Amino acid sequence: MTRGAIGVLMSLAFSACADLRGDDAPGVTRPLALVYRGSGACSGCPESLARLIEGAGFAVRFVGPAALTDAETFEGAELYAQGGGDETMDLYRAVGARRWGAAVANLRAFVGDGGRYLGVCLGGYVAGEWMDEAGTVPGLALLDGDVSPFTATPEDPAEDQVIDIEWLRPAGRRRVYFQEGPYFAAAGTPWARYRNGATAVLVATYGSGKVAVSGVHLEAERDWYEAYDLDDSDGVDRDLGLALLRELMR
């Protein structure tokens, strides 16, 4: 499927404002998105991210750590999504030290050759240069710059919480789900900023492809908030997630 055809399909999906999880229309083939689900991913995160991506017109296939080391996994895919999790090194250990280099090479080649990478929270960290603080395990290095933890609540930085961000396109303040996400001091176009001005959501290029990374969980569904008795006064942020996907696939 050409990039132009993907754009047309996604435009139809967005204008309809509906999930496309039913049967495809005759003659329509949905673009394929790969969503990581396996060790290192937080419970329920891959499924919520997949539902957001399906709402943008994609067919979703879940992939595990072993699949990342096989270049054939990425054949026919247009998008790879790495969602939230506990620690970057959990993903590294899940893939395995001896196979991590192959996974990194495959993902870099996929994006560099025109694919798209969506990284949310943990997936944003993975897109950076290093997987560990000591700088001994390479990350995907899809970003030209630094990825660092953003501390929303100094007294309890690991707390699941709702925070304010400034969404830039179009401009407006939104309350979003946050849990130990990063900020991005890297080249690219900021799409949202934290209250201190640091970049919360970024879109950048890598080779012939594109990268979108988010320190906040735009895919968070109502049950995420209910689990921690959180109040998001302006509602879930699916619309922002879809807007980011639309920009990523342009």
For 184-227, write each residue's pLDDT tens digit. 999 999 999 999 999 999 999 999 999 999 999 999 999 999 99
Cβ 108 vs Cβ 141: under 8 Å: yes
Cβ 155 vs Cβ 111: under 8 Å: no
Task: Compute CA distances 224 → 67, 84, 110, whole Å.
Answer: 28, 13, 31
Question: What is the torsional sign of CA 227, 221, 217, 100?
Answer: positive
For residue 77, the enclosing domain spans 3-249
pLDDT score for 11: 43
Q: How many domains does the chain have?
A: 1
Q: Could you tell me how many residues make up the chain? A: 250
Quick check: helix, strand or coil at residue 109? helix
Average pLDDT in the 47-52 region? 98
Average pLDDT in the 111-121 region? 98
pLDDT score for 156: 65
pLDDT at 21 > cutoff 90: no
Q: Are strands 199-206 and 171-178 parallel, antiparallel or unpaired?
A: unpaired
pLDDT tens for each residue of 222-244: 999 999 999 888 999 999 999 99
Continuous H helices in the chain: 3-16, 45-54, 65-68, 88-95, 97-112, 122-126, 222-227, 238-249
Average pLDDT, the chain: 90
pLDDT at 144 > cutoff 90: yes
Cβ 205 vs Cβ 199: under 8 Å: no
pLDDT at 39 > cutoff 50: yes
Place of tokens 């560990």: 132
What CATH number did the domain enclosing 102 receive? 3.40.50.880
pLDDT score for 159: 83
The DSSP symbol for 138 reads: B
**Greatest alpha-carbon span in the chain:** 55
pTM for the structure as a whole: 0.89
Average pLDDT in the 102-130 region? 98
pLDDT tens for each residue of 155-191: 666 689 999 999 998 889 999 999 999 999 999 999 9
